[in-house]
Amino acid sequence: MTDLGLPEDIEACLFDLDGVVTRTAVVHAAAWKEMFDAFLRERDGEGFAPFTAADYDAYVDGRPRADGVRTFLASRGIELPAGGPDDPPAAATVHGLGNRKNELLLARIRTDGVEPYDSTLAYLHAVRARGLRTAIVSSSANCRDVLRSIDAEDLFDVRIDGVVAAGRGMPGKPAPDTFLAAAAELGVEPARAAVFEDALAGMDAGRAGKFGYVVGVDRVGQAEALYAHGADTVVADLSELGGDA
Ligand SMILES: [Mg+2]
Distance 47 CA to ligand 1 centre (A): 31
Distance 91 CA to ligand 1 centre (A): 27
Distance 80 CA to ligand 1 centre (A): 26
Distance 15 CA to ligand 1 centre (A): 9
Distance 41 CA to ligand 1 centre (A): 27
| pLDDT by 10-residue block (mean), the chain, 245 residues | 95 97 91 97 96 96 95 98 96 97 92 93 97 96 92 97 96 97 98 97 97 96 96 97 77
Cα four-point dihedral sign 232, 223, 163, 86: positive
Domain ranges of the chain: 2-23+115-241, 26-112
Q: What CATH number does domain 26-112 carry, 1.10.15, 1.10.150, 2.40.360, 3.20.20?
A: 1.10.150
- At 56, which amino acid appears? Y
Distance 216 CA to ligand 1 centre (A): 10
- Is the CB of residue 201 less than 8 Å from the CB of residue 173? yes
Task: Give catalytic residues, as residue numbers.
Answer: 16, 18
Please state the CATH superfamily assignment of the domain spanning residues 2-23+115-241 in this structure. HAD superfamily/HAD-like (3.40.50.1000)
Distance 201 CA to ligand 1 centre (A): 9
Residues 70 and 66: their CA atoms lie apart, in Å, by: 6
pLDDT at residue 195, as a whole number:
98
pLDDT at residue 86, as a whole number:
95
pLDDT at residue 245, as a whole number:
46
